[in-house]
Chain A
Amino acid sequence: MTYISTLYAYLFYFAAFVLVAGLAAKVFQYARTPAPLKIPTTPAPTTRAGVAFRITREVVFFESLFRGNKWIWIFGWIFHFGLFLVTLRHLRYFIDPVWAPIQFIQPFGVYGGIAMVVGLAGLWARRFLVDRVRYITSPSDHLILALLIAIGLSGLSMRFVVHTDVIRVKEFFQGLYVGQFSTLPADPLLLGHLLLVALLMIIFPYSKLLHMPGLFFSPSRNQVDNPRERRHIAPWARRLEQQ
């Protein structure tokens, strides 16, 4: 069994590297590219603090989506909020000792898992039922939903159907911090779950999951509405003036 554990250890090193390096490269690329013109979608906040508040509303409540479409909003928000709770719940595998707030949300994390799957199912249904959404859907859009649902369902099964030895799972991930490969429980469900999670980490920086950093770099959302008060000019545009 250690053979598979070793394989998984390398897989997770690799996945973590791709996720972190890939995202960092993207964030760096976004940060380095100038936005030469002031293009916030107005009415827009006139101060930095106002912009921070606007972005926060987008991240926490999906404000624009709420205005746009209530069905997508309800399923999308349930899914993401569920995902958020699940992620918090999973922190217990990665920190030791487990912080009190993380201990506190453990039971909610389970509901989060259910919510996540429900939300994803609703989003997926739209891809078949609404002709406009069907038209814009590529195979990869189905696959990402399938991947996330599979992760959710395999996770929930370990909670409700076939339990796995979570202590050893924790040992495995704690071991990775120090280059020590402990043995994972040999449950097919767990191995499947982890494989899919690693896959998700790997595709993250190369797929539409880039919407997560994208939102923070979107000029129509993150710019302050003050073009008359302050001159906004990109370095390449300033060079035009020196010609």
Chain B
Amino acid sequence: MAKADFAVPVLKQYPEIPAIEPGVMAHSAPFKSKEEFQAPLGFPGQLVDDWQQKALDKMGDLLGRYRGLRVYLDSCVKCGSCTDKCHYYLGTHDPKNMPVGRQDLMRKVYRRYFTLAGKFFPKLVGAEDFTEEVLSDWYSYFHQCSQCRRCSVFCPYGIDTAEISMAAREIMDHIGVGQKYCNEIIAKVYRIGNNLGLPGPALADTLEGLEEDVFDDTGVEVKYPLDQEGVDILFVTPSADFFAEPHVDGLIGYGKVMHEAGVSWTFSSYASEAANFGMFIGSYDNMRRVALRIREAAIKLGVKRIVFGECGHAWRVAYSFLNTLAGPWDFLDPRYPVPQHICEFTYDLMQQGKLNFDKSLNDDMVLTYHDSCNVARASRMGDRPGGQFDIPRAIIRATCNNFYDMDEDTIRDRTFCCGGGGGLLTDDLMEIRVKGAQPRVEALNNVIQEKGVTHMAAICAICKSQFTKVLPYYGMDMDQIVSVHQLVSNALILTGQTSDEDAEETADEAA
């Protein structure tokens, strides 16, 4: 078990709604950003003079640009439906981690300065001045929200706390109070092309190594091309896929699927990142700048289609925002959706009978599937609502014999976030990450106990990294988390592949 200097939540058989413990997570705040990370994003390097007025100005600006923000701040009736829905509340018991509690941190400022009632009767409507204490609460608790949107499912008005967290982070960035992790990473994308800062040559090296591995394994020359012009498909994937475990096993799977599809494709070193942390910090400008790299790469490489690898928030930005941010895509092949998810791509091939699976190759695992929050509640796959739940499951069922879903209340659009999304996947937030994982890990633990599940598949780079790190805190193994396309890769029999069985058969025939 991993060591923790905080109490790791105890897993229960039946979920419990904890009693509130005010203030217990007030100390949890990520490292602050510095001048060198703020400047490339266009933000001041430290707390500006007159920060209060500047923050309010920015808030007014956002209220005029985002209808959602305005409507959400006005509409909450404090019904309480969302109060027990956030994994961070369930794991920490801090009422400011209840979605409405988190919203109220901004709402009380909004009411004080932007509404009649709050200007004249602040006490009555819970309005408060924007003091330093309030700002400090903002920094703590708006970095304890993974923007997973679970709260918005259960709110009668669909109030999405993620939108409020994003706006809060955008406001804080504008007064020089940024978060190091997100802003450093975005600066890295501008400088190098991906979150991990992997330069082109390193990528080429890695991909070459993978080609050799796959050839050794299968005897088939599967290619993992980089920066190849004039191919059909630009493949954009989170940079963790290039080397982290279990991500890279998924990436091997993408290549095999592309190979079987018989399409020409390439990664791009310029757009070697599907993730877009611009969303986490609520910055339209930065999100757009990151997204435009994909457009530039697509034009430069002269591709006809764009396919995205496994990543949750990346798929949200791709599916829901890419057309807005970097479109129109009229220069691509109109017969295919732009962009396409690798799961959609694989599923289509399955439908056409082009993929030959031997499910028994995954028989060493009993699987369950984690719906990543951004895929589940902020995007779609296929042409029917809910395809984002059914398509990955169909792929798992086609590639594995043993699959069990977790409790209904914790999957599909009610899925629990892994606890590391929304820009929280950093070591300085380990406590909130471990505690926030509790509801998901609890449901996982129950299928482990009841169904003998051994592994959980996911289609998100953040989920994979987060579980690898936090499962050991709960006494589980880090390699119990796998990529969906890792399962595909395991079970897929490539055309012309020399497998052990073939060898045996030939031996039988000879005898």
Contact = CB atoms under 8 A, between A and B. Distances in A.
A43 B160 CA distance: 15
B81 A36 contact: no
A130 B75 contact: no
User: Which of A29, A62, A139, A218 counts the most chain B CB atoms within 10 A?
Assistant: A218
A43 B67 contact: no
A69 B80 contact: yes
B499 interface: no
B124 A211 contact: no
A232 interface: yes
Contacts of B85: 68
B82 A68 contact: yes
Interface stretch (B190-198, B250-258, B316-324): B316-324
B19 interface: yes
B323 to A, nearest CB: 5
B200 interface: no
A43 B156 CA distance: 16
Interface in B100-138: 100-101, 104, 115-117, 121, 123-126
A38 interface: yes
Interface in A204-234: 206-208, 210-211, 214-215, 217-221, 225, 227-228, 230-234
B375 to A, nearest CB: 9
Contact of A42 (B75, B100, B337, B385): B385
Given A136-B104, A138-B126, A35 B66 contact: yes
A58 B156 contact: yes
B338 A132 contact: no
A26 B384 CA distance: 35
Contacts of A76: 79, 156
Interface stretch (B46-54, B146-154, B467-475): B146-154
Contact of A65 (B19, B81, B163, B384): B81
Contacts of A215: 75, 156-157
Contacts of B125: 138-140, 207
A49 to B, nearest CB: 13
Contacts of A234: 65
Nearest to A217: B71
Contact of B71 (A30, A37, A45): A30
A64 interface: yes
Nearest to B76: A208
A224 to B, nearest CB: 11
A121 B78 CA distance: 16
Contact of B95 (A29, A35, A36, A135): A135
A131 interface: yes
B180 interface: no
A215 B19 CA distance: 30
Given A140-B117, A140-B124, A141-B78, A67 B153 contact: yes
Nearest to B330: A231
A31 to B, nearest CB: 8
B239 to A, nearest CB: 24
B321 A227 contact: yes
Interface string B425-456: 00000000000000000000000000000000
B487 interface: no
A76 B81 CA distance: 11
B370 interface: no
Interface residues of A, number: 62
B319 A227 contact: yes
Interface residues of B, number: 75
Given A64-B154, A126-B80, A220-B68, A227 B124 contact: no
Contacts of A141: 77-78
A227 B154 contact: no
> Counting chain A CB atoms within 10 Å of each CB, which of B71, B338, B378, B414 scores highest?
B71
Interface centre among B80, B155, B285 (most CB of A within 10 A): B80
Contacts of A158: none
Nearest to A207: B117
A72 B79 contact: yes
A132 B116 contact: no
Nearest to B160: A220
A242 interface: no
A225 B66 contact: no
B68 A136 contact: no
Contacts of A2: none
A203 B321 CA distance: 38
Contacts of A217: 67, 71
A112 to B, nearest CB: 20
A87 interface: no
A103 interface: no
B81 to A, nearest CB: 4
A69 B156 CA distance: 10
Contacts of A140: 117, 121, 124-126
A208 B156 CA distance: 13
Interface in A115-147: 126, 130-133, 135-141, 143
A52 interface: no
Contact of A227 (B323, B388, B414): B323
B22 interface: yes
B327 interface: yes
A43 B386 contact: yes
Interface string A54-70: 00001000101101110
Contacts of A126: 80
A126 B159 CA distance: 21
A126 B80 CA distance: 9
Given A135-B20, A215-B157, A221-B158, 13 more contacts: A29-B70, A30-B67, A39-B160, A41-B377, A44-B380, A126-B80, A132-B17, A132-B20, A136-B83, A138-B125, A218-B72, A232-B324, A240-B285
Interface of A: 26, 29-30, 33-39, 41-46, 58, 62, 64-65, 67-69, 72, 76, 126, 130-133, 135-141, 143, 203, 206-208, 210-211, 214-215, 217-221, 225, 227-228, 230-234, 236-237, 240
Q: 6 closest Cβ contacts across the A-B interface?
A: A214-B75, A68-B154, A220-B158, A68-B81, A43-B385, A138-B126
